[in-house]
Structure 1
Amino acid sequence: MKSQKKIVVILKGYPRLSETFIAQELLGLERAGFDLTLISMRHPTDAKRHPIHDEIKAPVHYLPEYLYQEPLRVLRGIARSRKLPGFWAAVRAFLKDLRRDPTPNRVRRFGQAAVLCAEWPEGANWLHAHFIHTPASVARYTSMMNGTPWTCSAHAKDIWTSPDWELAGKLSETRWTVTCNQPGFDRLRILANGKEHVHLSYHGLDLDRFAPFAGTHSLRDGSDPGNPVTIVSVGRAVDKKGYDILLKALTLLPADLSWRFVHIGGGANLAALKALAGKLGIADRITWHGALDQKDVLEHYRRSDLFALACRITADGDRDGLPNVLVEASSQRLVCVSTNISGIPELLQDGENGRVVPPEDPEALAKALETLIRDPGLRKRLGDAAERRVRTEFDHHVSIRQLKDLFETEWRAA
């Protein structure tokens, strides 16, 4: 049976601490009986890895990250791929794409596809890309060359920063595409031009890994300087996470409130954010932990009083879909404050199971934070409601069953 279900999964990078939702899905598919081979376009850069990565049994193969680094491997890949029946069709598609996107990145994807075809895992008969931008480009050229059917999981940045022409072209060729939030689904459905093979599939959460919190969150109300309220946030220090807005909101909190802010995550903007905290005069109230593994993150959810994430849409259209950290925090009865972009309102309803404010609005964010800091009873009510919603509607087994059915249905059709 396994030989009929061997899937090559193309990933931008693996393993990655910020992509637990992908690792969770890979493990779920393995447990559902699929034989996976992981193809990563980049080598890992994180110093740590989550325990879930050690549970995934699939072998991992790395493509040349930059073609000039492994020229003989690339030339050998092109020489072998030229013998495939679809090679010249892939060349024509690549040249057409290159005219619209004349970048080294585009050339790199074609070279990586040629290497993948030349080093194709024995017995693999399906191709799946995580992210509809660069991994899907490699998948598309590979599929053209060797005739393997392909599918795709689209998420957030890849949907909103890719041009319409490229998304439409890929959607016309995938056997199916899934995405994890309603706005992304709506955009892809329109670009699919009537082809009803785009599906909405929330990632959900492995509720065994995020078991119910048996303890209680504190009753701190910000009135005791010796026992401040703890605000935690987990996310990469990048523009779309809105940490500059969050820091500004913290400075707007009344002077009589005692609080501490804890940030978990790496990211390119980390040094700039630390400098901003110093400029705003709040550096001594912030702890920057850097990237932590899932077990440590879970402990921070349980010992904190509220979670904050000021997601925004950046100038180039980049944005989150539905950040998994909001689902994780909610599973621990930790009340969340976030913004009303993308799929966040699909999890959080303002005043019912969290607080939701407009993006780019530090004043509104500060008011929401102040209300929750002063009122531990409200935090408990909203946190309890958040956990109920996650445990009834965001169980990852639902998404795994949906993916399993999609794979098997298209397998039979192909």
Structure 2
Amino acid sequence: MNVLYYLREFPKLSETFILNEIYALKQRGHNVAVFAIGGGHKSITHDEFDTLDVPLGYADVPDPAGAAKSFVSTLTAHSCFEILSTDVPLKTNVGNVLWAGQCIEFLDDLDWDLDCIHSHFATPYPLPCSYLSTYYGVPFTITTHAHDIFKEPVGDYTEKLLSSADRVVTISEYNREYMRDRFTFETPIDVVHAGVRSDKFDTTAPAEDRRVLTVARLHPKKGITTALEAIAIVAQEVPNVEYHIVGSGPQYDELANRVSSLGIEENVTFLNDVSDAELVAEFEAARCFLLPCVITESGERDGIPVSLMEAMSMRTPVVSTTTSGIPELVDHEENGLLTAPRDPDATAESVLRLLQNDAEWREFSHRAREKILDEFSVQTQVDGLLTTFEAARRRSPTDQPTRAIGKSAHPE
């Protein structure tokens, strides 16, 4: 299979699941190329990115005068008016047209023929994919996640984008049911759980008895305010509990102030963003992984957080909530513990169970790893994606001439 990934940013620290699936596809012998509008977080070390051997193309953003000229020439040369959307900012419309033209130039330099175009997140940025799909006579598929479908108001472009795809992928049954209720598009929806590299996230090292860990973007939907309030309660019974928070984000100042107001400065450590090796070390040391996700006032929520999967793969039992698709991963009282959102007392009680009950901890630890191996590894993710790609190829219109990719594909 020869696949183009058309992405907003690559690599992005909070989107390691995209890097994982590209890496796994390449490891299986498939050809993958990536065209990204932005370069993402290249300063953070990712083992997969460092060894990723795929063609990478990044969009060029010209100055305003050059952008206007390029916009007119690209729009004229390719007649790609379908990319434009009335509810998208002018700057984004102009960029989408430019990036479509640049992507065609990138693809024409490849030495293999394209089979499928795939993107992630139903934002305005993948709007060129439908045009590129028609241009090359190949199917277009897209994976939806969380903020792109949950955060209100959802733009009209979302319906347009998902209607234009040959198949839509989403990461949970919860998401699929939500989209069927929220939107009217008739594109088939496949559920493909995001997965993690179970070989990378694995350990038999003993955990620190009093260590609790969160790995997350510092955003209200992660429920870290509830986590801090729960740790303050836990500290009354386990005064030397250690709570490590890995990640960065817009809520840092608010959370740091909350730590001070709760008087738990000696218990809480903010570690910011870390390397892969440091992340694995944090998981190894954790007795309990804590992520009490919530739905915000604007409707934002997680899908199924990848950090929960990484923790479970590392045999670290988790405490989370019944929000969105999380119960599809965490089986309450089987491989972890779930509470209602925004309930620090119940969250604290669950954390104390995992810190103090060794027999229960061992059972949860074993079953957590089993759940990942059975349903949430990157290999099962790629199996599902390949099934979607093949189904999209069967569904894609056959009356269009396929345009071969290569320097001779479009003669003068």
TM-score by length of 1: 0.85
Distance across 1 between alignment mates of 2:162 and 2:289: 36
- Pairwise CA distance, 1:402: 2.2
Q: Percent identity?
A: 24
Is the alpha carbon distance of 1:400 and 1:119 closer, same or farther for their aligned partners in structure 2, counting shifts above 3 Å?
closer
Tell me, yes or no, if structure 1 residue 400 matches structure 2 residue 400: no
Whether the 8 Å CA contact 1:10–1:127 is kept in 2: the answer is: yes
CA separation of 1:81 and 1:127: change in aligned 2, threshold 3 A: farther
CA contact (8 A) 1:77 1:115 kept: no
- Choose the corresponding residue for 1:83, options 72, 77, 85: 77
The equivalent position to 2:244 in structure 1, one of 251, 262, 265, is: 262
1:340 aligns to what?
A: 322
- Report the counterpart of residue 254 of structure 2 in structure 1: 272
Structure 1's consecutive aligned runs of 4 or more residues displaced over 6 angstroms after TM superposition are: none
Q: Distance in 2 between matches of 1:103 and 1:368?
A: 49
CA distance in 1, matches of 2:238, 2:148: 40
> 2:223: which partner in 1?
242
Structure 2 Cα separation of the partners of residues 76 and 136 of structure 1: 19
Q: 2:216·2:246 contact (CA, 8 Å) conserved in 1?
A: yes
Out of 209, 214, 234, the position equivalent to 2:200 is 209
Q: Unmatched 5+ residue regions in structure 1? A: 221-228
What is the CA RMSD across the aligned residues, in angstroms?
2.6
Secondary structure at the counterpart of residue 251 of structure 1: helix
State the one-letter code of the partner of 1:205. Answer: V
Aligned-partner Cα distance in 1 for 2:64–2:41:
19
> Partner letter of residue 47 of structure 1?
S
TM-superposed CA distance for 1:124, in Å, is 5.3
- 5+ unaligned residues in a row in structure 2: which ranges? 397-412
Question: In 2, distance between residues paired with 1:22 and 1:297?
Answer: 18
Q: Which has the higher contact order (CA 8 A, sep 6+)?
A: 2
| Pick aligned residue for 1:109 from 71, 96, 115 | 96
1:14-413 to structure 2, matched below 5 A, reads 14-45=10-41, 47-64=43-60, 69=63, 71-72=65-66, 75-76=69-70, 78-84=72-78, 86-88=79-81, 90=82, 94=84, 97-98=85-86, 100-102=87-89, 104-117=91-104, 119-122=106-109, 125=114, 126-143=116-133, 149-161=139-151, 163=154, 165-190=156-181, 193=184, 195=186, 197-211=188-202, 213-218=203-208, 220=209, 229-253=210-234, 255-258=236-239, 259-413=241-395
2:401 paired residue number: none
1 CA distance for matches of 2:155 and 2:8?
21
Give distance in 2, aligned partners of 1:130 and 1:21: 10
SS in 2 for 1:321: coil
1:81-115, CA deviations, whole angstroms, 9 ceiling, x for partnerless residues? 4222x424x2xx62xx32x4456445543443344
Between the aligned partners of 2:185 and 2:124, the Cα distance in structure 1 is 24
Letter in 1 for 2:284: R
Deviation at 1:238, TM superposition (A): 1.4
SS of 1:82's equivalent?
A: helix
CA distance in 2, matches of 1:78, 1:29: 37
